Amino acid sequence: MSKSKPGCPICKKPVDPQYKPFCSARCADADLGRWFSGAYAVPGEPVPPEALPPEARGDEEGGDQH
């Protein structure tokens, strides 16, 4: 028994040597995006509600709640 090709870490498809260790540019990109979002998601200060745009806060006033 031998370990055959590991496959793309994203979608498990056969790896394309051109995009090693991924199967395609798309998956390589997806991994990169993941990596970046992980880097950006620094644990620390929570975002205060004031920093969010009004639409993200929900309907505080002037909605269609009647």
Please give the residue ranges that form the binding site for Zn ion (CB under 5 A).
8, 10-11, 13, 23, 27
The Cβ of residue 29 has, within 10 Å, a number of other Cβ atoms equal to 13
Element (H, E) at 47: none
Closer to Zn ion at the Cβ: 14 or 49? 14
Q: Which two tokens stand for residue 43?
A: 């644990």
Closer to Zn ion at the Cβ: 10 or 42? 10
Minimum CB distance to Zn ion, residue 33 (Å)? 13
Q: Which two tokens stand for residue 34?
A: 């993941």
Closer to Zn ion at the Cβ: 33 or 49? 33
